[in-house]
Structure formats: C-alpha cells, structure tokens
Amino acid sequence: MECFDRAEFWSREEIERAQLVRLRNVVGQAMRSPFYAKRLKEAGIAPETLKSLDDVRRIPCTTKDDLRSQYPDGLNTLPQCEMVRMHASSGTTGSPTVIHYTQNDLNLWADLMARCMHMVGVRREDVFQNITGYGLFTGGLGLHYGAERLGCLTIPAGPGNTTRQLKIMRDFRTTVAHIIPSYALYFGAALRDSGEDAKNLALRIALIGAEPHTEETRKRIEELLDVKAYNSYGLSEMNGPGVAFECVQQAGMHVWEDAFIAEIVDPDTLEPVAEGEVGELVMTTLCRQGMPILRYRTKDLTRFIPGECACGRHHRRIDRILGRADDMLIIKGVNIYPMQVEQILMSFPEVGENYQIVLERENYLDQIRVKVEIKEEHFVEDMRVLRDLQKRITNKLRDEVLITPRVDLVQNNGLPKAEGKAQRVVDSRES
Ligand code: ADP
Ligand code: K
Ligand code: ZN
C-alpha cells in the first residue's frame, strides 16, 4: 500500500503496542508540568502503574476549564526557550485556551497533516490553496505545513474575498483547496452565480472541516465545486487539524491512533459507551512533548464506526461530529441539534447556501425560528409558490425535531456571513 508513513497501515496489534509504550512516556512527560504533577500524584498515577491500555481510564479527565485555569503556561513541561510556537483555540465557546509547541511537536504535527492529505491523493504536483484564517487559529498553519511537507506548491490565500480566491484559483490552476464548509457553500454558490462552469477549474479536491456539517452539505459542495470533499477533524488542544481524516472511502474519519488515544464516553458517567453508540470524544496526545494533554474532554459528540474500512487501514473511524455537547438546544423540552436542522434544509433543492437558527421567547415560551436563504431562481414573485415551499420546509422540520419552528424564507445572500466558523445559532431570548 502506498502511504506517507508506515504507521498508517499498522495492524491493531502494532497500534496498541505502540500506544501503551507511548502512553507511559507521555504520562512521565506530563508530570513535569505543574498542573499534571499535582493532578497525577493525587490520582496515584505514574508511568509504571499503567499496565494495560485500559488503565488509561484511571487517569482523571482534563477539561477546558482546567486549561483555562492554567493560563498561560501551567501545562508546559519544558522551559519557554524550548517552545517555538503557540496557538489558541478560536474561542467559539468562551475564552481561548493556549497551546505551546516545541520544534519536535511541530514536525510531528506536519507529518500527521501530510499523512492525511496524502491519504486522499494530494501529491507534490498539486497546487494547494489554503482558504482559511492563519494566525492563532490552527487550521491555517496546520494544513500549510502539511502541504509543504508533501511538496505541494502552497498558496497561503487566507479567508474571504471570493473574487480574489477565484482569480488565484484560475491563474495558478489550483487543484486542492482547504476551505471551511460554510464558506465552501458560499464560494460555490458565487461561482455558480458568476456563470462560470466549475468543470473549467483545475480544482479536484476540497478539504473541509473545522465546523460541523452534514452529508447533504458535503454533496452540495462536491457538486458546486466539482470536487471530492473530505472531512477533516481536529482541535487546538490536540495540535489542531490532523487528528482524524476521511480516506477516499468517505465513510468516517480515521483517528491516527499511533499519535492519540481516542475514547468515546457517556458525558454524565464518563464510562465508555457501547460499541457504535454516540458519546463524548475524549482524546490523549501520545507524542506531544511541550504540552501533553491527557484524556481531554472535547465536548464533541460522535461514535466509533464499527467494522473495518475498505481502505485497509486499521485506525478506527469516528463518524461525522454531531455537534458539541453545548450545541444542543432544548426547546419546549425537546433536544435539538443544529445539524438536524441543516440536514433537512439542505435536502430542499430550492434552499440556498446559508441559514440561521434563532431562539426566541414569546409569552414565556421558547420558540425556534429558522431563517433560510432561497436560491435566486426560486425566490419568485408568486406568493403562493413561496408559501407552499415555506409550509413544506416547516412540516419536514417538524417531523424531524418534533416541534414546529417558524420558517422565514430569505433572499439569496440575505443572511450575515462569518469570516471563520459560521455562527448557526443566535440566541435572542432575554436573559
Ligand atoms: P474553538 O473550540 O474555539 O472552535 P478550535 O479551532 O480548537 O477552537 O476548534 C475545534 C473544534 O471545532 C472541535 O472541538 C469541533 O467542535 C470543531 N470541529 C473541528 N473539525 C470539525 C469537523 N470536521 N466536523 C465538525 N466539527 C469540527
Ligand atoms: K511542487
Ligand atoms: Zn479508510
């Protein structure tokens, strides 16, 4: 099998043998930080007490609050002069957390990223346009270094400015783009509306990730841009992107288990969920030196996909992220995930590329309003047609989420767009 790194095709036995050795190492390393020195001592954990991989569950979990309480460097295991980079989470929820990297950490991260990109067919002949924010956000530099490691001509285009992106894409015959899904939809729609045929572009692969999206959204991106789109998962606390990535089977994301231990637990009991069940993803860095993180509660909800992947890799696959545990909306006692709404909306051919979920309160009751853009050609004068569409969307949403939302049809480009990750939910209830 052609691969970037032999570890990609390790057997389960090889993976698990390496995991145990690396787990002991990383626990030893973590104990050099003030935070874990105390935390692990209190829990009676030392490297030699870890006899099998199951013993990872004896290690206390680390939370986002733990990281915040250690701001700015309480988890560092080495003096600052050993650190060569810092990033911070984009702070989608609450204040940011800071991650420090040694040169070795950066090299390993770039290798993981290159492995992901190589897996879906990116090669040195490719021209890679990185259409994401650089800066503290890990998505930009993460893929940038991966692409350079593969030898691609790497264009750090940065986010936004659709006209300029398109010009670069045409002039340099870009073949691979990294683009977040909400912007990919917008970008694809702009391309369509400009009358240019996506088939005339050299683009063949889109790497999409950093925010939750549905299979319907992927399909739309693939059609609009005439590409194969692959899901990319990561989080700053685990380097950034390069944690889990889809292979060409497009049937879930392989977690690189030679570099991380992934667990899926019940968020209330922290016990492992049954095979194939949805729970919270908990992750441990196995190779990080400057700032190891043990059993980090990602708050991301997903499941392990049972069975083997047709590609022959034995690194387990996680399913599309359903959302963060904090994304769940409770309206009139019903639990709703924004992705359920997206899935329904994107199944309507009339629906455009942007939507927003607004929480409102009326007469002390919570309501949900869904604002959705309608494509130019369907935003017709005839009110009966629009009203019928509105009704069909409302009914289908009601069947899915079990309460009746209000649905507003909005003109193409009528809703605000974010530069980075899309803000899908707006809470306008008075507190
Ligand atoms: P922030 O937490 O501020 O958004 P990060 O950049 O570290 O900062 O974001 C990591 C989070 O982004 C993940 O925990 C997850 O919620 C989300 N995310 C990343 N990649 C994906 C993906 N492919 N699908 C769904 N969500 C993703
Ligand atoms: K090249
Ligand atoms: Zn696979």
Q: What is the mean pLDDT of the chain?
A: 95
pLDDT surpassing 90 at residue 323: no
Mean pLDDT of 76-94: 88
ipTM of the complex: 0.97
∠ CA 234-237-239, nearest 5°, is 60
Residue 164: CB partners within 8 Å, gap ≥ 6? 157
Going along 197-259, which residue ranges are E strands? 205-209, 228-235, 240-246, 253-255
pLDDT surpassing 90 at residue 418: no
Cα Rg, the chain, nearest whole Å: 22
Residue 23: CB partners within 8 Å, gap ≥ 6? 50, 53, 56, 261, 284, 286
Mean pLDDT of 100-121: 98
> Where residue 431 falls among pLDDT bands split at 50, 70, 90?
low
> Where residue 420 falls among pLDDT bands split at 50, 70, 90?
confident
Task: Note the residue count of the chain.
Answer: 431
Q: What is the pLDDT of residue 178?
A: 98
Mean pLDDT of 194-199: 93
Mean pLDDT of 356-382: 92
Query: Quick one: what percent of the chain has pLDDT higher than 70?
Result: 98
Mean pLDDT of 353-360: 95
What is the value of pTM for the model shown? 0.93
Q: Outline which parts of the chain fall under CATH 3.40.50.12780.
A: 1-326
b/e 261-280 (16+ beta carbons within 10 angstroms → b): bbbbbeeeebebbeeeeebb
> Where residue 356 falls among pLDDT bands split at 50, 70, 90?
very high
pLDDT surpassing 80 at residue 1: no
> Where residue 91 falls among pLDDT bands split at 50, 70, 90?
low
Ligand 1 contact, 212 CB (< 6 A): yes
pLDDT surpassing 70 at residue 47: yes
Q: What is the pLDDT of residue 232?
A: 98
Which position has the higher pLDDT, 381 or 103? 103
pLDDT surpassing 70 at residue 92: no
CATH classification (class only), 328-427 = alpha beta
Instruction: Give the side-chain half-sphere CA count within 13 A for 180.
Output: 24
pLDDT surpassing 70 at residue 215: yes
pLDDT surpassing 70 at residue 90: no
Give the residue whose CA is nearest to atom 25 of ligand 1: 212
Q: For residues 331 and 361, give the distance between their C-alpha atoms in angstroms, rounded to a whole number.
A: 10
Mean pLDDT of 354-383: 92
Pairing of strands 205-209, 176-178: parallel
Cα 212 to averaged position of ligand 1 atoms, centre (Å) = 8
Q: What is the pLDDT of residue 93?
A: 65
Q: What is the pLDDT of residue 417?
A: 87
Ligand 1 contact, 232 CB (< 6 A): yes
Q: What is the pLDDT of residue 272?
A: 98
Asked, as a colleague might, if the bond just before 72 is cis with ω within 30 of 0, I would say yes
Q: What is the pLDDT of residue 148?
A: 98
Pairing of strands 83-88, 98-102: antiparallel
Ligand 1 contact, 132 CB (< 6 A): no
Which strand (E) or helix (H) includes residue 371? Answer: strand 365-374
Indicate the SS3 state at residue 155.
Answer: strand
- What digits encode the pLDDT tens for the residues 125-144? 999 999 999 999 999 999 99
Ligand 1 contact, 207 CB (< 6 A): no
Domain 1-326, classified CATH 3.40.630.30, yes or no? no
Ligand 1 contact, 91 CB (< 6 A): yes
The 10 Å Cβ neighbour count of residue 74 is 16
Give the residue whose CA is nearest to atom 14 of ligand 1: 235
- What digits encode the pLDDT tens for the residues 260-315? 999 999 999 999 999 999 999 999 999 999 999 999 999 999 999 999 999 999 99
Q: What is the pLDDT of residue 180?
A: 95
Q: For residues 287 and 259, give the distance between their C-alpha atoms in angstroms, rounded to a whole number.
A: 6
> Where residue 39 falls among pLDDT bands split at 50, 70, 90?
very high
Mean pLDDT of 326-342: 89
> Where residue 362 falls among pLDDT bands split at 50, 70, 90?
confident
Residue of 180, 233, 419, 421 to test ligand 1 pocket, by largest number of atoms within 8 Å of CB: 233
